[in-house]
Structure 1
Amino acid sequence: MKINEINVIVAIIGGIVLVLGLGSKFLEKSPVPATLLALLIGVLVGPEVFDFFDPAKLGNKSTILENAARLTLGVGLVSVALRVPKEYPRQNWKAMLILIGVGMLLMWMISSLLVYLILGIPFWLALLIGAIIAPTDPIAASPIVTGPVAKKNLPDRIRNAISFESGANDGLSYLFVFLPLLVLTKLNEEVVPHWLTHTLLWEVLGATAFGLLLGFVAAKLLQFSEKRDLIQEEWRLVYTVALAFIAVGAGKLIHSDEVLVVFAAGAAFVQVVNQEERGEEEKGQEAVNRFFSVPIFALLGTAIPWSGWMELGWKGILLAVAVILLRRPPVLLLLRYFLPGLRSTKDALFLGWFGPVAVAAIYYGSLAEHRLHNPLVWDVVSLIICTSVVVHGLSSTPLTKLYGKVTGDIKTS
């Protein structure tokens, strides 16, 4: 990569964040979210329009997307963990187990079936794509549950449910992604033993245990430092950002699911520090989270496979619409009787609609494309991601206000 190309990238990223930041209060209340604007800017600066930036010219496109997405997820997942009250997992663990476990399995099955029936591709490849698009994305979900519009119109039980689910199911989807991926890349007799012993025991359960330990130790070290007045306020604001970076890097180094490592570390950290201390960490984490979340959507805009979308044709459009409508809302309507936090059909419909597909799918989609060398994976996944960014982004503010009005949950300041 030439030095001028690096400078162009740095300037574009800084310019996008700067411009969107100047109008952030307006964007918070407008129907057009920053993520959608970043995606459109990415399209404009990408190879199909002004050609200021083309990720394919910098190396392996899927590797660039994979690493950018996992870093964004790392920062974002700790932010999600800090946002959820520490008592929430303990008080709602049964409901969350159903939503994350049974719900994810059903969403995987529905998504895979839609891909298989509409596109007519091989069964295991359909299962892989279905697993990639099944989880709710924590980065795209953050604007839905944060900010003045969400805080005014959404009850805490809905906001916390979306946050916790989006944080936890990204890591759990690793299991569903790697089962078909192993089938497609290994000999049949090696798949089940490898999936059970390596993927489940080490990459998922081991990652969770390591993340919990890492978060616990980080929180105890912070308390130790604060009791002895060793840490300055400005350093404390970036403490959890450093924790996110450690978790992402260490998770990769030990060859485990770094997404689970990060969320588990954040969840353990929250359980140790007290509520007052958490406020400062959350401010610093949220600021950095916003800085990272904008560039990843711009990068997505530069990496859209337009020719691949054209080859999918009307089947691609039909699939994207079917996934948005059928992947999640029917599942939440079915499970709402087992989820005490959902007190009405309106709750189930709102939670069912807002399950965006975004950065986690970028990560798993680019990872799968890199390992399979099959561009069809990215063609399909990127189309569904962009459809979700547009549809869920544009509907977020209007439907949130409508929910508050219809349910009477509007909060007065």
Structure 2
Amino acid sequence: MSDLNIALALISGLLLVLDLSTGLLQSRQYLPSEPIMAVGFGIAIGPHGLDAFQLSTWADPLIVIEQAARLTVALAVTSIALRLPENYVRRRWKSMTALLGPGMVIMWLVSGLVTYAVLPVSFLVAMLVGAVITPTDPVLANSIVIGKTAERNIPKRIRYLLSAEAGANDGGAYPFVFLAILLVGESLRPALVEWSTQILLIEVVGAILLGALIGAVVGRLERWVSGEQYLEETSVFTITVALTLGVVGFVTLLGGNEILAVFAAGLAYNWQADPEDEAKEQRIEEVFNRLFTLPVFVLFGMVIPWSEWQALGWAGVALVVGILLLRRLPMMVAVSPAIDPLDRPAAMLFMGWFGPIGIAAVFYATLAVRETGIEAIWPIVTLVVAGSILAHGATGTLLTLRYGRLDDDADWW
């Protein structure tokens, strides 16, 4: 119990400091981002720092970080679904199809091939790592597109596109991850049969349909209750949080992909709910999202496998650089003609750089280790995640302000 109290005191203190210094952080381009500071705080108080407390006293650290990441990502994709304009996915279906179809396939293949070229792992393990780090992280994406600095400098079309992609492709990475997991453990034919039936039809399509149904029903009920003046403002927050956690628990019990289900539920709820209440939901959800986002980065800092990173040596550095440079930007250049919001070079380059790898990859890494027993996946993925947090966190404010100062996107070149 004392460890819990220590954790509450330390993490709450970090939240207070960061909340009180938000304006300073955003106005000073050279200061590190909040995720970087949270990870650094986790390192400082963890077993490799002051050793204030250890996750191993609660449970297996990988189990703790998996469940924390799972809930954090679920809340992040709900926040995204509530923020998007009504029917955004339907109106931008061509752009979303390009990003979620060929875009994700390219990122998966490139990430896997870079891993295979740099590290002494088998081809299938490399492709599994590539699948794990494919999704654009919704938690880090939120930190880029939310806030006054982002609203003043990044056009809505780019903020919405990055948010929608991050919300959708996080759950969309699930089939890629499980295809690689099945191929690692089984021969080709049985793996493809199980993947096309159990994974795609039941755990993906079934989860999307169930999540959309739950979200639509709750949204319709919320609209009716709000219209009858029965809904209190505090209930707006409770409804969206309960919807998120309820869908996560229910769909997981049924064996479906809870992240896709939550995003579908959020979109359907957004479509059916009272628009006036949605604005309140978005503001409150962002606050709640923040409370969950920073603690998971602290936990990540505490479980960093330093000795395994050191064992990777310069190959690990080459992996991080290769993934950051090759995973996303070439893909965005290739598919940009099919994406309407990327109508200028600056927009394409901004989207090409800001596809962060974060807590979603941590969640899938713990899942992959648990399903395959290949512990080497964990240090590889966490090293890439740390590199992305550092690179995208250090450049987020700087490039956002640079984007906002452009009179013509052509000047970006």
What TM-score results when the alignment is normalised by the length of structure 2? 0.96
Residues 116, 122 of structure 2: 8 Å contact kept: yes
Q: Could you tell me how far 1:306 is from its partner in structure 2?
A: 0.2
Greater CA deviation, 25-34 or 176-185? 25-34
Alpha-carbon distance between aligned partners in 1 of 2:251 and 2:167, rounded to the nearest angstrom: 16
CA deviation after TM superposition for structure 1 residue 82, in Å: 0.9
Whole-Å separation in 2 of the counterparts to 1:363 and 1:273: 30
Deviations 1:58-117 (A, max 9, x none): 322221111110100111111011111113222211111111111000000000000001
- Give the paired residue count: 407
Q: Does 1:337 align with 2:337?
A: yes
Q: What is the distance in 1 between the residues matched to 2:190 and 2:334?
A: 36
User: Is 2:286 the counterpart of 1:277?
Assistant: no
Q: Deviations over 1:336-383 (max 9, x none)?
A: 111121112221111000000001001001111222232211100000
Shifted more, 338-347 versus 289-298: the winner is: 338-347
SS at match of 1:231: coil
Structure-to-structure mapping, 1:303-382, within 5 angstroms = 303-382=303-382
Contact 2:131/2:176 (<8 A) preserved: yes
Gaps of 5+ in 2: none
Q: Take 2:274 and 2:262, find their aligned partners in 1: how far apart are those partners?
A: 20
- Aligned position for 1:193: 193
- 1: CA distance between counterparts of 2:396 and 2:28? 10
Maintained 8 Å contact 1:333/1:345:
no
Runs of 5+ consecutive residues of structure 1 not aligned to the other structure: none
Give the whole-Å Cα distance in 1 for the aligned partners of 2:209 and 2:406: 42
1:265-297 Cα offsets, whole Å, 9 max, x none, are 101111112432210111111110000000000
1:14 Cα offset (Å): 1.8
Matched residue, 2:6: 8
Scaled by the length of structure 1, what TM-score is found?
0.96
Number of the residue aligned with 1:405: 405
Q: How many Å apart are 1:16 and its aligned residue?
A: 1.9
Q: Percent identity?
A: 38
Contact 2:223 2:274 in 1 (8 A): no
2:136 partner SS? coil
Correspondence for 1:28:
26
- Give the letter aligned to residue 13 of structure 1: I
- Partner in structure 1 of residue 160 of structure 2: 160
**Worse-superposed segment, 366-375 or 89-98:** 366-375
- Partners of 1:92 and 1:193 lie apart in 2 by 32
| Alignment of 1:294 onto 2:317 | no
Quote the Cα distance in structure 1 between the aligned partners of 2:377 and 2:27. Answer: 35
Q: CA RMSD in A?
A: 1.4
The SS at the match of 1:375 is: coil
Q: How far is the alpha carbon of 1:211 from its aligned partner?
A: 0.8
Q: Deviation of residue 36 (structure 1)?
A: 0.9
Q: Distance in 1 between matches of 2:191 and 2:143?
A: 39
Q: Which residue of 2 aligns with 1:87?
A: 87
Establish whether residue 202 from structure 1 lines up as the match of residue 179 from structure 2.
no
Give the SS at the match of 2:52: coil
Q: Are residue 96 (structure 1) and residue 57 (structure 2) matched?
A: no
Aligned to 2:134: 134
CA–CA distance in structure 2, aligned partners of residues 367 and 207 of structure 1? 18
* Cα offset, 1:386, TM superposition: 0.6
Q: Which residue of 1 aligns with 2:59?
A: 59
